[in-house]
Chains A and B, each alone.
Chain A
Amino acid sequence: MKKILLMGNPNVGKSAIFTRLTGVRVITSNYPGTTVEFTRGYMNLGNEKVEIIDVPGTYTLQPTCKAEEVAVEMLKEGDIVVNVIDSTNLERNLGLTLQLLRTGISLIVVLNFWDETKHKGIDIDIKKLEDILGIPVVATNAITGEGIKNLVDRLSEARAGNYRYEDEKKWEEIGRLVAQVQTLHHRHHLFREFLADACINPVTGIPILLGVSYISFRAIRFIGEGIIVNLTGPLFEKIWGPLMTGLSNFLGAKSFIHNILIGHLIDGRIDFMQSFGLLTTGLYVEFVAILPYIFAFYLILGILEDIGYLPRMGVLLDRLMHIAGLHGMSFIPMLLGFGCKVPGVLACRTMETRKERFITATLMCMTIPCASQTAMIVALIGKYGPGGIFIVSGVLFIIWVVAGVLLRRYVSGESPEMFTEMPPYRIPYISAILKKVWMRILNFFQEAFVLVLGGILIVNLLYSLKILEMLGKFTGNFMTKLFGLPPEAIGAILVGFLRKDVAVGMLVPLNLSFKQLIISSILLTITFPCAATFSILLKELGTRDMAKSTLIMIGAAFIVGIILNTFLKF
């Protein structure tokens, strides 16, 4: 089968074109490095089925990071390269085009973001560019789909160009080339550009950063809480609740099936947070406690991503990240980690060195609770007012700083500096953001649904078979002595290996005090990552570094647990 590679600089819309061609949906954003892994899809070209590969963005065929290495490696396999270009930045993008021409591979050039050229007063003579390069050139706007049909029609015309140049004089050559095909008209400074500058000027940028963070945080709480209180909560209590009570009466509280499906009755009634049945707590945790927050988080994240704000946050936070031997852009994986660690760890690929990847992944897994866990912690501690949440986040931040300083010092390797393109601000398309939210929620369910139910089932069996009590007795008062927690809390820590949200849920029936709740929430965040994160760490860091990272987390959990138990007083 023929292989068609989509290649180009980062953040030129390759993934959006991929989705248009194949119908396979992939996450797109407005910042360099959204795609770190290649994605395959298929389409019919005439009577032939061809494979389309969405390759991570690269500025050059001399790779500078892991994601770029993937791109260059892929080139060997391709039959045709579709070189996607941001038409508003023709000159810079042609750097890669010329390198591709030199390889002699069949090439077709796509000028994406074509509509933007009009706003920016840029005129490009496509015909002339075709003649000079000797390969077909088409204009598209991938988000609306304009020009995609033309691209498909002309794919078969892709060919090795006849353009020759001296490698040392590449950029001078491009300068002359651009002067021939592009005319710039006078235009007014766009408001977006003014805003973009204001966001990276420290005097205005820092207040904007604080404001955006505050509004985002409030919006996530407002939307998440709103859905729970007005929609999913009442649905469960008023409709699902009576159904389950009926089923419970029908099955009889003593039967095994009842135990599995409904769980244990608390004071003769079903308690959605404590019964631990598959149909009660299992569904409640996923749909009521977690899903609304996942939706809210990804909605706000999607808006910030597509506007192009995240790299600018990175510039302002660069100094903070230096504490941990990182630079501003490692803030993006960390932020993704607040949703789920799996995409967070994957995003570490845009980093250049092993040291950076190791520190970012370890700090993220150790100090950043994912959306599901945060939702459960909020449900658990939130009833004592915002104070508890502040303490938990404050302690986690302190751990981030202390661990960051130590990791910077003791992990060998280089800490390169920031070197990142700032994407232009773009007005996000609501439909594109909603599609992205939908995909991320689907990913969440694919990853979590079975594991959460499995976790609930295991917890249920642990209770029913009294294994938890035995485990508590077996470990004696070790949990109590070290961390001031009841012996049964060891169960939650162990289940935390499977799913952190289920683990937090296990704390509910233990009737913990405020202090115990805080310590256990923090411990559950720090100790080893959940199963899904564990496997992705193994894949991204390798066995040795993953083992090191996990040992650091377990060690930190012990130290922090003991310190908190000794010094935290209420």
Chain B
Amino acid sequence: MDLTQLKAGEKAVFKEVLGGWGIKNKLEAMGITPGVVITKISAQLMRGPVVIKAGETELAIGFGMAKRMIVEKIRE
């Protein structure tokens, strides 16, 4: 599934991002690399940005970019 399909409050493992060097570099710089556990904090109406938390970093990611981030939900 992709990041936009995850519900607010759910945890997931980040798998990969479907995109070029630029987007990978941005995520990498924030410490978001494959295998990192993230928590979705919120989503906005009408394809607004998604806010996630990775470690202590809280990050707002545009909808289109979130759509390209593949994650695997962690069932508790």
Contacts and interface: CB of A to CB of B under 8 A. Distances in A.
Q: Do A and B bind each other?
A: yes
Interface of A: 59-60, 62, 64, 88-92, 95, 171, 174, 196-197, 200-202, 205, 311, 314-316, 318-319, 327-328, 416-422, 424
A171 B74 CA distance: 21
Given A91-B55, A202-B48, A327 B25 contact: no
Contacts of A91: 31, 55-56
B58 A424 contact: yes
A314 B60 contact: yes
Given A60-B25, A202-B42, A421 B56 contact: no
Interface in B50-76: 51, 55-65
Contact of B31 (A174, A314, A316): A174
Contacts of B59: 419-422
Given A314-B60, A419-B26, A421-B57, A171 B31 contact: yes
A415 to B, nearest CB: 10
B48 A422 contact: no
B51 A319 contact: no
Contacts of A318: 44, 48-49, 60, 62
Given A92-B55, A418-B60, A420-B59, A200 B30 contact: no
A564 to B, nearest CB: 31
Contacts of B47: 319
A420 B59 CA distance: 6
Given A200-B41, A419-B61, A424-B58, 4 more contacts: A90-B56, A315-B49, A418-B49, A418-B62
Contacts of B45: 202, 319
B34 to A, nearest CB: 10
Contacts of A316: 44, 48
Contacts of A424: 58
A417 B30 contact: no
Given A174-B31, A418-B61, A422-B51, A197 B42 contact: yes
Given A417-B63, A419-B62, A89 B57 contact: yes
B57 A92 contact: yes
A319 B61 contact: no
15 contacts: A60-B29, A89-B56, A202-B43, A315-B49, A318-B44, A318-B60, A319-B45, A319-B46, A328-B60, A416-B62, A418-B60, A421-B30, A421-B57, A421-B59, A422-B58
Nearest to B51: A200
A190 to B, nearest CB: 13
Nearest to A315: B60
Contacts of A416: 62
Interface residues of B, number: 31
Nearest to A65: B26
Interface in B4-23: 8, 22
Contacts of A417: 49, 61-65
Nearest to B21: A62
Given A89-B55, A197-B42, A422-B58, A59 B48 contact: no
Given A418-B60, A422-B60, A202 B30 contact: no
A413 to B, nearest CB: 14
A174 B55 CA distance: 12
Contact of A421 (B58, B62, B64): B58
B48 A315 contact: yes
Contact of A60 (B28, B36, B48, B49): B28
A62 B21 CA distance: 11
B7 to A, nearest CB: 12
A418 B55 CA distance: 20
A419 B60 contact: yes
A201 B56 contact: no
Given A419-B65, A422-B51, A92 B60 contact: no
B26 A64 contact: yes
B61 A95 contact: no
B65 to A, nearest CB: 5
A315 B62 contact: no
A311 B60 contact: yes
Nearest to A62: B25
